[in-house]
Amino acid sequence: MLLPLTNQSTLTHIFIVLFGLEMQQTSHIVWHKHQLTKAERAQQKSQKPCLIWFTGLSGAGKSTLANALELELYRRGHHTYLLDGDNVRHGLTKDLGFSDKDRVENIRRIGEAAKLFVDAGLIVLSAFISPFSDDRKIVRDLFDAGEFVEVFVNTPLAVCEMRDPKGLYKKARSGEIKNFTGIDSDYEPPSHAECTIDTSMAEVEASVAKLITYMQLSGIIK
């Protein structure tokens, strides 16, 4: 058990008087600073850390592509992490709703978390609809040049709606869900995405190969 702070303080003052030099020496050593850097963490992992940001309509194939790319990077010995609704929505951003303010804060917080992961030396992948250019720009601006790779999963709406894996388009069309991206809320396509992929026109394997090539050419991986 600890003594109350005031008593502890008095006792320690006596201790300092008795063993003053010893104490000062120990205290001094404590303040030496050694900090592991982002560069050291990245070098250890033989990769250039970055955020691969998948954006596109619901059902476009963002999560599928991100998962497949992560698996391929893992097979090649890279150190990655995938941020998506499954691991973020019920934790880091669980206090947020769907108001405009909360939507912006949601993307901002994901961006800031991703920035920490990049600082940790990892290749981070994220899969969020992120329909608005301004929100995506907030995230892009958090990163150094070349660290933010925007992947526009440009699968046509009709294909996404045909897939409708969670039945959300059906609900949006019937009016059960409001403000659904692509139905009654806009999707603003990226104007300068680093990569664009249409999953209705290419197999997952080919799309992953395209992304791997991009990552090699830009020096993210070897």
In the region spanning residues 15 to 54, those forming contacts with a copy of itself, defined by CB under 8 A, are 15-16, 23, 26-27, 29-36, 40-41, 44-45
Nearer to a copy of itself, 44 or 179 (CB): 44
CA 74, CA 213: separation in Å to the nearest integer? 15
- CA-closest candidate to residue 183, choices 57, 55, 56, 54: 57
Does residue 168 belong to the site contacting a copy of itself (CB under 8 A)? no
CA 57, CA 219: separation in Å to the nearest integer? 29
Region class of 34: left (phi > 0), else alpha (psi between -120 and 50), else beta: beta
3 state SS for 51-66: EEEEECCCCCCHHHHH
Q: How far is the CB of 11 from a copy of itself (least distance, A)?
A: 8
Does residue 2 belong to the site contacting a copy of itself (CB under 8 A)? yes
Contact assessment for residue 149 and residue 54, using Cβ atoms and an 8 Å cutoff = no
List CB contacts of 144: < 8 A, sequence separation 6 or more.
Answer: none
Please name the amino acid found at residue 168: L
Does residue 74 belong to the site contacting a copy of itself (CB under 8 A)? yes
CA 206, CA 204: separation in Å to the nearest integer? 5
Question: Catalytic: which of 58, 63, 126, 130?
Answer: 130
Name beta bridge partners: 80: 123
Does residue 179 belong to the site contacting a copy of itself (CB under 8 A)? no
Nearer to a copy of itself, 29 or 217 (CB): 29
* 130 in catalytic set: yes
Does residue 177 belong to the site contacting a copy of itself (CB under 8 A)? no
Does residue 204 belong to the site contacting a copy of itself (CB under 8 A)? yes
The contact mask relative to a copy of itself for 88-107 (x = CB under 8 A, - = no) is x--xx-xx---------x--
Does residue 192 belong to the site contacting a copy of itself (CB under 8 A)? no
How many chain residues touch a copy of itself (CB under 8 A)?
74
Annotated catalytic sites, by residue? Answer: 130
